Every structure is written in structure tokens, then in C-alpha cells.
Structure 1
Amino acid sequence: MQHYKALGKFGFKSRTLFTACALMAGQSITAVNAAPFSTCPSKAFLFQGKPVASYGVNLVTGSFQLIEDNPGINANINGLGFDEQDRYLYGFNTTDLQVVRMDSDFQVQALNVSGLPADYTFFVGDVSSHHYYLYRKNVGLYKIDLSPLDNDITAALTAQHIGKASVNLTDIAFNPNDNQLYGVDNGTGKLYQISPDTGAAKYIGESGETGTFGAMYFDVNGYFYLSRNQDGKIYRIDLSSVTSNSTIDELQALDVTAIHFADGPSSSQNDGARCASAPLIDEDSPSNIDFGDAPQTYATLLADNGARHLLDGETYLGLTAPDGDYDGYTGADSDDSTLLNDQSFDDEDGVNFVTAFEIGLDSVVTVYASRDGILSAWFDWNRDGDFDDQDEQSLVDIALTEGLNVLSLRVPDGAVAGNSWSRFRFSQQAELNYYGGSSSGEVEDHAFTISESGISYRYYPGENSWVTLAYEDQWPASDDYDMNDVVMYYRTVEVIQDNQVVRIDIKGELQALGGVYHNGFAVQLEDVDTTNVNQQTLRLLHNNIEQQYSGTNGATTYPILETGNSNAVVIISQDLWKQASSVCSYHRTEKGCNQTQSFDFEISVPLINPIEIGTISAPYDPFIFATEGLYHGEMFTSHPGRGLEIHLVDKAPTEKFNSDFYGLADDTSDPSTGRYFRNSNNLPWALEVSGPWKWPSERSPLLNAYPEFQTFVESNGNQGSQWFDLNQAIARHLF
């Protein structure tokens, strides 16, 4: 029987879709033919649709397979349970309102049952001690003795009413440890214990999850599993300590939080059944699962919901497909002892640490992928024995391509020096955690060492402070001069080792876009050669999401480190309007359009050769430029694009600047004297203001909003030095 692992993440809505996908994949679907089941099967069964289709689900990994889609009857079957005594499945035919029995070939046979209320369907049921139990909210719990069927399949059966309960359940399951029924209320997530003797429901605790849990199961250790219809997520509740002697006080003292365990099939309609006395590992594939091998505290063993992957033979790390494990190992690389042709082989060969892990610095890791897939990785930076702390997932859903992939990551400033552990998970699934099951791929755990780096930091303007950059994008014309076309909060961090700068970090928050023109934003790092930037660990984040490019335009992609410049120029965005949306014509410049700030960035520029601390200084040269291919004013005969730059006062432009633009309109730049981006009155087109600054509202000139600015400029900064203070502003002209 073929496992359809790739579909497990996305689920399916009907047996027709699932079968069609299987046929497109060129796989056959084989039915199992027998009368009763020959054993107590470890797989969980899932039933969907009309006519009911039967699936086998591996709760360990979430993978599933179609077993039979022709039950011999055109009906939906719900409320199923597995009878461990006669090894048949029992359920309720919701189409014809009949109790039925299902063989191991999943063919349905109606039973002769009386005593159930007429015209009611039952969607909830399970089997224990050779009795079938059905439940419906506000109707009651019913019990049917199945022993007459041992001698005669046509024997008359009577349903006995046990009692009523008003909890909203879509399935129930018997705990083999105390022989009580358990279920989770869909709307509230409350866990209840239901007595099979009285039908009374006792509140146990909060699962923390809500939704339609159409299938519920137990395993032999007393763990309780919930399969949610909407998204296929499988959760586990730890009831392993419950016994027949457990009191209600002891039960209510348990932590019954539902933990995400695996990702199975989603559906609009689910019901489930399982032999609760069976171990959880599927006997059909006990060694087709890959576990990790970090120490137990890192969620390695199945009992701890350890990381695990169903081996598909296609998705793995390294050159060697991994060997299967019966459970996680808890010694360094201990699952490499598997023998192949009487020789040990190393299947933990997919990850290589290229550089040391030094606190506060960047490291390079290479990962070899057998095919395209998705990688996440966790590092125990604080060495507390788990991957559960902030920033310990250092790689999040990275798309790998087949072959060698070079990745970079940052060792946090708060990391603790010493030996520690990491976990890499490669799969066809996204959003995996450091624990839980996956229907494809491999997990590799690797020990590593965190080293002291002896680094310090120099902040501009301060560790938690900002300067405000404000640009007027009408250059070389002054026009409205409202100085709000691009407004950015900005700060820098220099990472220093042995009195040399080894990395430059720049952070910013876009505050306003008041210009109709489209502008990009970049920083020129004066006195830093382009060739001295380590592109392997160069990193740009937009809203904390790593970017591969500074922007795209159709099939064209623009690099983060711009080529063709002597000084390093890093591009934050090719078009800031693509980073922000507005409910009004402009972004945060018009009265009454007070939407929240929505774009921030961080760029890290590591240096190949460190630079003496006194030879460079912040804020460097942040500037805006015209977006390629878009209109930027009537004075240009064609779209000026990257050749139009606007810098802070007397900052020389980059080598991409079009020098033909000097002297146009109001510009009085004179490169021979070091004069740049001023008009005849010395007014600039770009400002750096200390601290967060209130910018003018749309079409309100800067000189109207801050009258003292003219005095400041005309005196060459000798007077009106606090022109930007709110006490000097005219409030009606501010945003």
C-alpha cells in the first residue's frame, strides 16, 4: 500500500479528489481483504464521505493512505469504534439510520438493532468490552451488547439508554487505562470524562484548542489524540497517568493542554476509530521513521513528542538516505550505527558548519538537499537543554534547492559560550516546530560549540534611539517643499572586535510617504570598498523576513549590494511604495489618515577585512533615488530612474548618479567645492533630525511648519539650532 505523504499537509475534501491525485501520481490503491481483523491494528482509521471511504492514518507522522472507497453501500458511516474482542468495526449509518458492522475489508453490513430513538442520527460512538456506545447531545448515551453476534450476525440487539449529557462532542474514545469515555467540546475546548455506566459528563480541564474534532483516539499508554477536521492537525493530550483509581480531583489537577503532534488529512467530515490497546508505531512501517538524536530534553523521544519524519526515499539531507528508527536516540549521532552490508554508515551528512559560532557574529552553514524542499533549524543558544526560547529558531522555512545550499545565521548577543545542540528539519511541509511529526523528510541533530567573540558595539544615535531622515523628492525643484515625501526613522550599530569594525547594522522604520513619485532607499557606506563586503552573510530583512533581492521588476531582480560602485552601496528597497499601502492618496501625511507604521527593515553588512574604528562613522550616507522606469517630473525628458539621487547636505552621490542633473531648476550643487543638494538659499532636499520628529502634513511647506528652520539655514547652523522642537512648530501644519 502506497503512502501519499505529500497530500498529508494539504488534506483532501473527498475520496474522489484523493483517488484522482493518486492516479495522477501513477500509484495503485490496494484494498485489504479479510473478515475480522487478524490483529489489533496500530494504525488509526479515518472515515469520510458518502459512500464512506476508509483511510489509514499514521498518528506518528500524520501520513495517510486510502484503504477502501467502495464499502458496498451508498451511505455515510459515523460514530465508529473498534471492538478488540471480535476485531470488527462498529458504527452508525447516518444515511439509513442503522447500526452497522464493518469487516477488515471495510465492507458494511446492517445489524438488527432496536431501542434507539426514531429519526435521530448518531455521529459519536466507540466500543469497549464488547459493547457499542453511541452519544448525541441532549439525547443521551446508549449501549448495545454485541455478544449475540458471536454466533449469529442476524441476532436481535437492543440499545440501552444510559443517561443524558449536554456537552457538544463530535467524537469520543475509551481510555484503555480506566475504561472511561473522553471527549473535547468543539466550541470551548473543554475536556470531559463521560461515565459509560451513567452517561454523566465530568469537566476535567482546558485543552486550549477548539474546532470540529471529528476523530478521537487513544493509544496503549493512555495518550489521547484529536484530529481536527478544518486543517487536519492532530493534537495529543497526556492522560497516561490516569488509572481506574484516579479521583476527579486528581484528574482536574492534570495538565491537559493539547499539544500539536502531527499534520494529517483535513476534511469537511471525519470520524475515527482505533484499537486502543495497540502501540502507536504502525506495524506496517516500524522502521520507516527518522527521529533525532539530541539529548532527551530537546524533545527527541516519541513519548516527548519528539521530531520525526516519515521516510519517503526522496526528501532527505546529504548524499545518503537516512535509516529508519523505532524511536529517538539520545546520544551524539548514535543512530549512525546502523549497518548497511555489514558496514556502519553515516546518514547525518547533510549539514556542515563552515565557520565558528561566535557570539554576536554571523556564521555560515552549508546544507545539502536531495531535492527542493523546506528547511527550519533551531539552536540552543542559552544552553538550557531545549529549543523553546526566543530567537532559537534561527532558520525559518528556508526554501532549499536540490544540491548544496549556503546559508547564514546570526549568533544572538545573549548566547552562552560552551557546547550545545542544534536541530535541522527538512521536509515538503512548512511551519514545522522543533517537535512533532512530519509526513516527509529527515531530522538531523548536531552538537556544536558557541565561542566568545570579544565584541562590543557603537550605536548611532543610541542603542534605543532614532534620528529622523526626511526627503523632498521634487529635486532639483523646490516646489511644495513639505519635506514628507519619504520620512524614515534610522539608526546604526557598528560591531567592533579588537578596535576594528567587523560588521555594520542599519535599522529603519518607514514613517511617511508623501510623494506621488516612486522612490527607492539606499545607504552608501563611504570608505567601505564594495569588494570588502562579505556577500555570504550579507542580510536584508523586511518586517523581519529575509530578502534575497532589494526588489524586482518583471523578470529583473536587483541585488542588495549594488554593483558598479567603488564605495559599497546597499539597497534597502527599489520602491518604497511596494512596502507600504495607504487608505488615502499618501501614506501618513494627510489629515485624518492616521494609519499605523507598517514597514521596517534591518540590513547587516559584514566586512571581509575589518576597518579601523576611526576611519568610518555613522550615519554614513542614506539617500533616496528614483524607481526605474517610472515618471519623476516634467523636467526630465525620460524617466530618470537610478540616475536621480537625493542625499543629505553636501554628501556626494554614488557613481550611478547622472551628473547631467547638476544645476537643473533650483539646484546649486558644485562638486568642485564639495557643495551638493542645496538651493541658492542653502535649503536642502534632505534632512537628518535628532530623535523622532513630527513632519509637515501634505502640502504644508517646511518653513510654515517650522519657521525657525530658515534662520537655522541662513545662519549656517549658528542660530535656531532647536528649530525642529515641537515648541517651535506651528501645530496646524503638522501631520
Structure 2
Amino acid sequence: MLYSVSLTTGTYDLLKEMDTVNKLNGMGFNYSDGYLYAWFYEQQTLARIHADYSIEPLQLQPALNLQYYIGDIAVTDNAQYIYRKNGANGGLWRIALDPVSTDYLQPQQIVTAQELYLNIFDMAFHPSDGFIYSVDNIGRLYRISPANGVASLVANVGQTGTFGAVYFDVDGRLYISRNNDGYIFRIVIDSANPTAEFFSYGPASSNNDGARCALAPVEEPTTPTMDFGDAPATYGTKLSDNGARHIINQALYLGESVDAENRAFLAPSESDDTKDLQDDEDGVQFVTELARGESAVIEVTTVGDGLLSIWLDSNRNGIFEPSEAVIADRAVTTGNPFLSFTVSEAASLGATWMRVRLHNTAGLTAIGLANEGEVEDYPVNINLPSTKTEYYPSSSGVVTLAYEDQWPSRGDYDMNDLIVYYRTSITSDNDEVGLVRQIQVEGEIAAVGAAFHSGFAVSIPGLKTVDVNAADVSLLINGEAPEAIEFGNTVAFMPLQGIPGQLQQDALFEIVRDVWTAVAPGEGCAFHRTENGCGESEAATFILTIPISGEVPASQIGKGVFNPFAFATNGYTRTSIFKDELGAIVPPGDGLEIHLKNHPPSWRGDNELLGRSSDRSIPSSLSTSNPITYQTQAGLPWAIEIAGRWCYPSEYQDLTLAYPDFVTFVASDGQLGADWFRMSNAGNHPQKGEAGYIFQKDNTISSGCAQ
């Protein structure tokens, strides 16, 4: 029987009942001519398998008169290598398959069975390093030289059995299929500790062999038949990382339903929450918050009889470690059980992820394939005990911050020079005083439509620098702490820089000093995600976690977005407005700040720039409770906050033309045209398009943003 096996799903189909009374073994795919080759037991020779699965015996000179069940074809050598651990003609042999070669079909022994004795059952050529690899029955991974047959032990991969089918993918990952249960394991052989991790299911067999093109990737399925997680890639979400995935059977799932996908859509910008897919993360409701060292209670909605497993990344390192399983193989039935688990005493405070898997496979890990059920990933926060958290705009929602960086000149007014999706939270004691324990600012740098170099920062009204626990402040860009050499002084506690007199000022944090270090425009593009096809599909994410050491009541802290702003990156020039006494254009420095309308500059801002050119700011109003700042002569802002993920204009499209009701909204002080920003109110009634969250130059618009 000849089967095709999907490594993605583990499903397999019978291709052909082969025309032989005996076995075909030692199979390999020849990249040079496109044929499968195998040892033909019926005639004790090598055979070529054609596209119609017919068997063509090949006449070897001399004949070897022995059965070989281990073999593969070199990627570049155009030769079949066969191996047997015993027998007079055992050992490792090479058989040339190039018809023009002088040694065509002439077996050449590389090493004898006595010189190379390995208890292996198949082998495979690496796609690029030229070596042969195999795993023996007790899990030892070997690297074998095809030139001299010398084998070296690489590692023990942690699985035992008869691995009768062994093959590579183009990225150099080795797959081994165990005969007795059909389990297919994957080994990243160039890792520090190569380990066989379960990857998918295959057919069980007492005799098993397999082959694939070593230069081919393991592809995502074309038909959406699976459910993937959507946590960031580091958590093991993508197929290429053996991400968590379930074959959907509609008999076992979480919540109201489960949607079918053909790949993982990664949070935040590619999760199925923001795509034209059903948001099916609805199986878990949090009855209590997650607090360090305390019991957490959740309500889980399940359909079908299965096992529930949950992992919480309590150390916030971007990985679901085995020790972070808070619930493992808990038997559940259809219903709404309330479950509890304890958050680790050593848990790190702040934003993290939780993975929930409903399945029927005992011992299932946080990654890999399950042949039924559903996986749901949840962004969560770990708080201090006995606290409450207030979110803006909500625990899962965002607002859009949009900046026009040509301030104080009106410029093109396309309001897309910096687009940030943004959320804040304040964690405080759950008592009458409500002392603040932690503040968090998180979001995405969604688009940069600017030639200028700008940074993004936030000042927190009511929070003094002296009250911040500076040593434990955490900033993550795309899930990793930014390098100081790349991002500059990312956490901008200016007193720590030796600038005196700022301890009693509002605390100021730089999230990124130059946004062009966090995003890329894309090949042949000048901007990031403001023109069609320009920029990565995923936005750059950030999470700023600010522990508070001083006694600061929550009532003292300004709620909402705080005071986020764009600023000029030091060392870069802007426009001719900024000149020295000799008339040369000079960099304005980070004192140039662009804030939301009627918000004050930070303590670092250069107030002398207010009211210049097209700006109508009144510096003297800064001493009042209602400053007049960052607006044009017509009252239009240079920065705006919009509910949800806004469909911003593309390059050079004036905001007032893209959204005509915006002028009415501003002129009426928000009394009229409150829904000006919705797609239905955009100019020329654009239709949905396919790229980015932007207007395209042909006035089409994409899905995924405010409707």
C-alpha cells in the first residue's frame, strides 16, 4: 500500500495498492529526476516508481542479493544510498542514478556493516549540509557522513521505538514516524538540545517507510479545516513552529462555536479578532482577576466530553513552559464549569498570555496537533493581590492615536504620519484609598506615513517621577526588551539621566525614540502601511509596565489615554521653520512635541515652539486648567484620538476630504458628526479592499477597522 500523508493534519490517503507480492522499502525522492525510488523486495533490487505508481525494477551491476530497508537519495548527488546493519553485503552503499554517469546503477560500498552498526530503520539526507541523519530505537540521533560512513552521536531526542520513516523539510527539520502508533515527531537538529516533539498523526504499521522532497516546505493547508491559536509567534502558534492546532470535528469545542482556519492569525494585528473571521475566543470568562499568589476562578463553556488544559505564561517570557500548566487534562462535559487555579507566587506582574485547549489527548502540550477540539488564546494581566484594574477603553479594546508630524505647519494633513493603536490600565488597591500599584500602556505602532524621524512617548498626569519604581519598569517591543543601542533611552526617566529638578514633574516615558527603528517600509516603499503593499502585515507591538512605589491614590492619576505624544528624534532636521541664526536648517530636537488638542506639552517640551506658523496654541494658557494648544487657526488638531481601529487616510489624502464630517465635528466642539470617523461616513463612499487598514489611492478601503 502506498499512502500520502499530510504532515499538517496527520490525515492520509491510499494512493495505490502496489503491484507486488512483497514490500518496497528504503524509499527516497530524487530531486534530480522527480522519481521515487525504493528497494524492491520481490526482485531484490532497486526500483523506480513512476507517476502512475508502476514499478520499474533496475538492473544493478553487480546484484547485491540482499534486502535493504533503509535508504534515501542525496539532494545534490543524484545517487541512492542504502544501508543494512548486518549481512555479507550489509553496511552503507551508494548507487548512482544518473544515466550518463560512468558508474550508473553500479553499487559502491562505502563502509561495511561491521564498521557502521546502527539500530536504525530509515535515514534521510539534510537539505543543505550534505549529511545523512537517523534516529535509532532508543532515541539516539546520528549524523552520518556519506563520504566515509562515519557516524557521530548528536543527541538523545527523548523518544523510543521503530522509526521506519524519516525525512526532512527545506528548513532542516527532521521528521520521524513511529511504526506502532503512527506518531510523527519533529526534531530541530541545529538547536542546542534537539528534542523529538510530537507534530502530527500518521498511519500505524508494522512495516513503514516514507520519503519527501527535502527542499520542500511543510505547507499550510489550502482548505480551512483546523483551528489555530492566535497568541504571538513566540508562544508556538504558527505551523512552522509546530503551533497549537486542532482538527475541527464540530463535536468538541469551547464557547458558542469554533471557526475553521488554514493558518494562524497572530495577535495583535493578525488575530482572527481583527480579520474577517469569527472571533471565537469565547470559551472562558474570568470571574476573578489573575493576581500573584492567589486563586483565580474562571467559567469555561464546553461542548462535548473532553479534557481541558490551560497554560499561563506567569514569568512573561513569551513561552508556555511545561511547568506553567495551571490545569492539565481536567475531564469536562458539556456545560459551564467553574474552575480554579493558583497563580504562581513568583509570577511577573503585567501583560501576558493564557492558552486554553479542549481535547481528548492525554498529556497534550501547549503546542502541536490535536485531532479534535479547539485552542483559544487570551491576553491577560497578572496583578498584585487584592487589587482592581481599570482599563481604557476596555480590557481588549483600543483607541487609535493619529499624528500629523509637520506641526506647527499644516502640511498635507493626511493624519497618518504616526498611527498607534493604544490601551491603558491602572491597577490599584481594592479599598477606599485605592493606592496605585501599577500602570500599563500597550498597543501597536500600526503605520508610519512620514519621512521625518519621530519618537512616541507618554506623560502620565498626576504621577510624579519620584513615585515610580524605576528599577522594575518593563518595556517590550515586539515581545522583547529593546536594545539600548537601537532604541536609545527607551524608558525616559530624565532624573536618572542627571537632569535635575524633575522628580516632582509628571513621569515621562519614551516608548520608542525613533519609530523607524521599530518598523520597516517594505521593499521599494517610502512609508509603512500607508500605501498599498508597503510594510509588514503585522504591526510592531509595545507593552510598557510601570510599577508604582510611592503612595499615589488612583484619584490623583489622570484617566484615559494619559498624555501620549509624538516628538522629533534628536539629530534629524525637519522643515525650514527650524533655522539657526545663519539661516541653516537645524534639528529641532526632542523638545518638539505633538500632542492631542488642548493637552499640554510634557516638562521636556519646548514651549517656545507653541503658536508658530499655522499653530494657534496660546502659551500663556498652559498655567490654566483649560490650555489652548496643538490646533490650527481653524481649530483643527494635529493629533486625534478615535475609538477602535481607525481606517486612516493613505498618503497625501487630506483628512478633511477623506472624512468630510470631521470639520463639522471640530467646528461644533463634538456636538455634531460624532461618528465622522466611521467607514460609512468616508468620502466617496469607499468599498472594502484587501490591504492594510487604510484608504487606497483609488478610494477603496479595507476591512478590520471601524464600521
TM-score, with structure 2 as normaliser: 0.49
**Structure having the higher Rg:** 1
